Structure 1
Amino acid sequence: MIKSLFILNTGGDIVLEKHWQGRTGRNIITQFWKEITKENRTKDLPPIVRIRRQTIVHLRKYNLLYLIVADQDTSPLLFIEFLNRVIEVFSNFFSTEPTETSLKENLPKAFELLGEMVDNVFPVTTETSMLRDMIGATMKSTPNTIENSKKFGTLSSDQVGGLPWRRKNIKHSPNEIFFDVIESINATIERSGKCLSSEIISKIVCESKLSGMPTLTMVFNNSSILEDVSFHQCINLDTWERRKILDFVPPDGAFELLSYRSNRMQTQIPLYTSGRFNWSKKKRKGKFEIILQVRNSLIKSIDNVSVLIPLVRGCSSPAIKTSNGAVFFNDQTFELKWEIKKMPKNKEVTLKGSIKLPNKGEIPREKPVAIITFSIEGLCMSGLKVTNLNISQLKKKIFKGVKFISKSGNFTLKF
């Protein structure tokens, strides 16, 4: 049972609070914030925290901290999934990422959405398409009288179909459906360029604008690639278990069809990465070098490459030399950022630099870790392919397509 939802900013201030069972005191948030301070960083705190016989499930996204306060005997995994759906719904309704600014600008809408998503302390409606209909019905009613208040928030018979995620009598022109297979690679690379560990975390998202009640079937070249699969409720699980084929009637609009994990990488890591970082005790200096190169002939281009290096606090502005891209140094956070809009093919790019430590203080024992981000269109690192996509119950011309996107997840270089 969900008692309350709190959304905090990075300073611990409450941006939004919603209560479904009584009113949870803010002192529990104060205690939770002390736990964060103790751990120094939010991501180091376990996602489930027990405070005063209550469970707090938290999730951080877009520099906001989402917290659910619930009873101890409830399933935390359900609430983690619910928080993800809340963020997704906010994104769809705000038409932008739900940052602190956009959330404050859309507070009335956010409260209305949360009121529809949870009923009697249980999550009930998390589909964007259904919520659009419910919010639309609410907005059309004006509950200024007793008669009107009876109609407030109700749906017409046309809006309620046999499927909880899709209403009846949907009409679109043109009819189209597009899928994005987005694979994120988590990898740890050692200084020589050798990959120490890697895994692929992926999802298939969809934008559907189809009339009526269409039935889709999606066939993969090798479904055994998919591990730890989490399905949208529209998918027929019986068909998947028997034939490993996706059979579903899609929601209307944007939604996540499924998510999966894979440890099988059918191609080498697309961005070769190596580097070194050495401290000089006598000179109180640190010297570093990073080398990047595209080493996959199947890749057309690697875009939006970024290398972030957290340096020692109090160090001097680094002396930098790079063969490509732009370098920025933040003298408040002491972070060095190297950005390359488009990686050249068959050519190494390098970043070399040095920093000077303050005159006092110990030489750091540990070397920093470089955090690397990138994106690649048209590449599927797991080797997954959609071999067939059929749509039935719809006799109109349909535009359809599948796009593959590979990008970095938690991708780090250890010097």
Structure 2
Amino acid sequence: MDLNQPPGENYANPKVCLFHVLFKATALAFYILSALFIDNFVIIFVVTVLLAALDFWVVKNVSGRILVGLRWWNEINDFGESVWKFESLDQETLARLNKKDSWLFWWTLYLTAVAWVVLGIFSLIRFQADYCLIIGVCLTLSVANIIGFTKCRKDARNQIQQFASQTIASHVSSTIQSAFSVVEFTREKGRRMEDVQQQPVIASPTHYLFQIVREGITFLACTQVEMPPLMAIEFLCRVADVLSDYLEGLNEDLIKDNFVIVYELLDEMIDNGFPLTTEPNILREMISPPNIVSKMLSVVTGNSSNVSDTLPGATASCVPWRTTDIKYANNEVYVDLVEEMDAIINRDGVLVKCEIYGEVQVNSHITGVPDLTLSFTNPSILDDVRFHPCVRFRPWESHQILSFVPPDGQFKLMSYRVKMLKSIPIYVKPQLTSDAGTCRINLMVGIKNDPGKMIDSITVQFHLPPSILSADLTSNHGVVNILSNKMCIWSIDRIPKDRTPSLSGTMVLETGLERLHVFPIFQLGFRIQGVALSGLQIDKLELKL
């Protein structure tokens, strides 16, 4: 949040600001200077309290309403009960209030209370208990205004959230109606909603829905015209990445707690249905990420908006993903290869399919605007490459090198796929035999091709067939758990050197079944650090400042 006012901006209500400060200063000045000229404690008490009460009345009934659009009062309702009222102007009127007036109001309100506290400490040190009575009354009046206007400000924040909720609701009402029309269409076609929810693209006679799921949160986009599906899905991925970066996580509670910022981000990222600004670097200059300091400053200044009044400098740059004023004491850059293996092995142990899906992740902390060149020893094995916008395509097309000006911080430089791998580092050997209403299972896991690095986080998962009533499974290494949905999870972690991990046990079939007719599919997961299973290697990284 920018506390500095734009050049040339003046106070909108200078006379009100003057009296707002004058009454506070008069009460403090009289109390401090009265000891030099007046010896009568009663006179000091009466005059100081009257000045503080006058300041209390001016702040509560005049300056609070004009400078920040807030007011609070007490009234007796129809039942004879004392009721406190806290109100604020509507959101549009609050947005038009002068920021400098608000800044002066909140700072003087808090500093006055601090000044009375300091004077009270001096009175205690000097053992002047009678003067502590004066300070107690004045501090009570000051704190009462702070509490009252703070509660009023919470009402203003609720108004802003309601305004944002109503605005975004009006924007997405047609999308929700379209989604319901697609749901009804799928029901008419007799398709299961579970199957529809797993589809990234859903088509109906009138609308197209695009969806992704991140951390249990569904991001949905709707259009009435046909468009490239990858464009909508990529935009939804950008939205999810930006929200995760801003909120330092992604879940339902974080989105609810920061709903105003979420709406502000969506308003900047999409304009009239078209993706506009999706670079996190530019968005951070336009909208400040939420933090404790910004929340405290918003309370002091009375401004809850995180949107900057100035246009980010990177918007007019040829490299909008990076600003030019970045400085570091030590320049450093880290490059990591993160790969996932997708393999299918049939019941005979033959490798049917084996592919690698990988990413080149970069963490850059370099001063200025550096130019990096990254080359691989064997780039010919890469297929289906996908680059960050910072990558220049022509050097890759001609020489298969990555030339780019990196964003600041961590980002995904490129993604790729490596096809037709011939082997995997781990083997799985399942054996199932069934007879007389029972089924025996024996499952072994071991190292097939040693990658030279430690293999850990090994897990085996499989669903028990529907015809299984109960199962008694044990293992000689690791932990076996059977969940309520009949999912069996065998957590091995690391393979010991002295024995081969194995799982065995008996499963009871339904009454009337002699043999098992539907066999489970075993899913193996593992992790290896320090090695790329695809064989991809980085040759060199050149830096030009």
Query: TM-score range with shorter-chain normalisation?
Result: 0.7 to 0.9
Identity of aligned residues (%): 30
* 1:357 paired residue number: 509
Residues 279/89 of structure 1: CA separation in 2 closer, same or farther (3 Å cut): farther
How far apart, in 2, do the equivalents of 1:137 and 1:310 lie?
43
Q: Which amino acid aligns with 2:229?
A: P
**What is the CA distance between 1:347 and its match in structure 2?**
4.8
Q: Does 1:30 align with 2:185?
A: no
Q: Does 1:305 align with 2:458?
A: yes
Cα-to-partner distance string for 1:240-291 (whole Å, 9 max, x where unaligned): 11211100000112211111111143x73011122123443x32x2322221
Matches within 5 A, 1:312-331: 312-313=465-466, 315-330=468-483
**What is the CA distance between 1:369 and its match in structure 2?**
0.7
* 2:147 paired residue number: none
Cα-to-partner distance string for 1:284-304 (whole Å, 9 max, x where unaligned): x23222211122233321111
Secondary structure in 2 aligned to 1:275?
strand
Q: Is the 8 A contact 2:371 2:403 kept in 1?
A: yes
Q: Does 1:124 align with 2:283?
A: no
Secondary structure in 2 aligned to 1:192?
coil
* 1:400 paired residue number: none
Cα-to-partner distance string for 1:41-94 (whole Å, 9 max, x where unaligned): 348854221124211112223223222101323211111111222222222222
Higher helix share: 2
**What is the CA distance between 1:220 and its match in structure 2?**
0.3
**What is the CA distance between 1:228 and its match in structure 2?**
0.9
Aligned counterpart for 2:235 among listed residues 82, 85, 96: 82
How far apart, in 2, do the equivalents of 1:269 and 1:61 lie?
29
Cα-to-partner distance string for 1:162-194 (whole Å, 9 max, x where unaligned): 311112211223332222211111111123332
* 2:58 paired residue number: none
Secondary structure in 2 aligned to 1:113?
helix
Residues 137/204 of structure 1: CA separation in 2 closer, same or farther (3 Å cut): closer
Matches within 5 A, 1:101-180: 101-136=253-288, 152=308, 154-157=310-313, 161-180=317-336
For this pair of structures, how many residues does the alignment match?
370
Q: Is the 8 A contact 2:175 2:222 kept in 1?
A: no
How far apart, in 2, do the equivalents of 1:362 and 1:259 lie?
49
Aligned Cα RMSD in Å? 3.4
How far apart, in 2, do the equivalents of 1:128 and 1:18 lie?
22
**What is the CA distance between 1:18 and its match in structure 2?**
5.2
**What is the CA distance between 1:376 and its match in structure 2?**
0.6
Cα-to-partner distance string for 1:184-213 (whole Å, 9 max, x where unaligned): 111111233321111111111222222210
Q: Is the 8 A contact 1:295 1:346 kept in 2?
A: no
Q: Does 1:92 align with 2:92?
A: no
Residues 155/95 of structure 1: CA separation in 2 closer, same or farther (3 Å cut): same
Residues 342/125 of structure 1: CA separation in 2 closer, same or farther (3 Å cut): farther
Which deviates more from structure 2 when the two are superposed, residues 132-141 or residues 309-318?
Answer: 132-141
Q: Does 1:247 align with 2:400?
A: no
* 1:73 paired residue number: 226
**What is the CA distance between 1:387 and its match in structure 2?**
0.8
Aligned counterpart for 1:344 among listed residues 474, 478, 496: 496
**What is the CA distance between 1:114 and its match in structure 2?**
1.9
Cα-to-partner distance string for 1:86-122 (whole Å, 9 max, x where unaligned): 22222222223x2334433443332222222212321
Q: Which runs of 4+ in 1 moved over 6 A?
A: 137-142, 360-363
- What runs of 5+ residues in structure 1 fail to find an aligned partner? 1-14, 394-415
Residues 243/209 of structure 1: CA separation in 2 closer, same or farther (3 Å cut): same
Q: Does 1:225 align with 2:225?
A: no
Where relative contact order (Cα < 8 A, 6+ residues apart) is larger, the structure is: 1
Q: Which amino acid aligns with 1:381?
A: L
Aligned counterpart for 1:270 among listed residues 409, 413, 425: 425
How far apart, in 2, do the equivalents of 1:106 and 1:271 lie?
44
Secondary structure in 1 aligned to 2:235?
helix
Residues 99/33 of structure 1: CA separation in 2 closer, same or farther (3 Å cut): farther
Aligned counterpart for 2:528 among listed residues 368, 376, 394: 376
* 2:200 paired residue number: 47
Q: Is the 8 A contact 1:286 1:356 kept in 2?
A: yes
Q: Which amino acid aligns with 1:174?
A: N
Q: Is the 8 A contact 2:175 2:221 kept in 1?
A: no
How far apart, in 2, do the equivalents of 1:302 and 1:221 lie?
25
- Which is greater in Rg? 2
* 2:146 paired residue number: none
How far apart, in 2, do the equivalents of 1:253 and 1:120 lie?
31
Aligned counterpart for 1:386 among listed residues 538, 541, 544: 538
Aligned counterpart for 1:185 among listed residues 316, 324, 341: 341
Please give the TM-score of this superposition, normalised by the length of structure 2: 0.61
Residues 279/235 of structure 1: CA separation in 2 closer, same or farther (3 Å cut): same
Residues 32/313 of structure 1: CA separation in 2 closer, same or farther (3 Å cut): farther
How far apart, in 1, do the equivalents of 2:480 and 2:347 lie?
21
Cα-to-partner distance string for 1:9-65 (whole Å, 9 max, x where unaligned): xxxxxx999579673153433354564993463488542211242111122232232
How far apart, in 2, do the equivalents of 1:301 and 1:214 lie?
36
